[in-house]
Structure 1
């Protein structure tokens, strides 16, 4: 008997075919229903896998609110604070950038018009600037709390563009509402 004989091709071929059949079964039973919502065998629905990956977001989302932009500067004395927020409809988008001369304490958060919905906070910290896109999780006011934690006066500049109705400024004094054309 010769031990240097190459292995038979038949077991390798059978193992390859078996692994391909198993991969195809997993693809049609689980992957396609869970990831793409395509369920040709009906097993994805029976197993509760349809749309498991979550809803797909369209690249285009029409907005019912008018597109607006706002650029505003605030002068903050030492330890002075303010809130500045925009009223947005659910799923409205706001592109923002803010910059201060020194680090400020901030909290980006939202408050729903429906008081039964809890306030949501998205980002908190102490830094000099930030930018990004905020998508409104519900209809309400969405924006920032800023506080100057330094010992000197500072200027903070906020630039936004997006889909909002009006803005509100809340300080120690009365709340101010600003309308946009």
Structure 2
């Protein structure tokens, strides 16, 4: 039934060879856990390799965003209406009854908001400024640093979104400023995360103009 002869005892791997292969596999798994998984998922980097590869920064950002989401959930009482939920619930009334009344009064469109904020980061510190924005709202911004470069991530998080979910509009490492414009892709908080990786204090000045509801400093 078999065209290939069975291996002899001499051809089978010895117990020593099996133990050696198992040890190599175990050491490889531990090395990947320490240098890749722990830095990227938990910001734990005992060897320093994760920071060189940029994995530790990724883990720190994940932890920060998860903490922010948990803090927002703790502050908002159950059943509370977020700024983004009110328009969605009132939409049928606006179209059927409220809109003609508004048109008859001819109320002017609210002016765009303009704000300027300054934050100072000590070595290793992170700060975040967020805007409450509705879907398709636009904002233009410009920020610059004094004292050195920073790492940044311009991103947004939906109201009541899945834990840890965020959308990144723009990011960079070791830069002294950025400017541009983005359009919110969902109702939620949208803004900037900075971290100071230098050995001295860094001051960031942010200027915003756009269709946002408010501006707030989170951390």
TM-score normalised by structure 2 residue count: 0.47
Q: Residues of 2 paired with 1:135 and 1:65: CA distance? A: 18
2:132 to 87, 90, 93: 87
2:112 to 67, 74, 89: 67
Match runs of 1:22-41 below 5 Å: none
User: Which one has the bigger strand percentage?
Assistant: 1
TM-aligned CA deviation for residue 119 of structure 1: 1.4
Residue 140 (1) aligns with residue 188 (2): yes
Alignment-derived partner of residue 124 in structure 1: 171
User: Which one has the bigger helix percentage?
Assistant: 2
Match runs of 1:1-181 below 5 Å: 67-101=112-146, 102-116=148-162, 118-126=165-173, 127-171=175-219
Q: Residues of 1 paired with 2:160 and 2:111: CA distance? A: 22
TM-score normalised by structure 1 residue count: 0.56
**Closer/same/farther in 2, CA of residues 65 and 85 from structure 1, 3 Å limit:** farther
Select the structure of larger CA radius of gyration.
1
**Closer/same/farther in 2, CA of residues 145 and 65 from structure 1, 3 Å limit:** farther
Kindly report the root-mean-square deviation, in angstroms, between the aligned alpha carbons of the 2 structures: 1.8
TM-aligned CA deviation for residue 140 of structure 1: 0.5
Whose RCO is larger (CA < 8 A, sep 6+)?
A: 1
Q: Residues of 2 paired with 1:73 and 1:80: CA distance? A: 15
* Residues 66-117 of structure 1: per-residue CA shift (max 9 Å, x gap): 5201101111111110111100011100000000122101001000114149
Unaligned runs of 5+ in 2: 1-108
Unaligned runs of 5+ in 1: 1-63, 172-181
Q: Residues of 1 paired with 2:162 and 2:121: CA distance? A: 33
Report how many residues are paired: 108
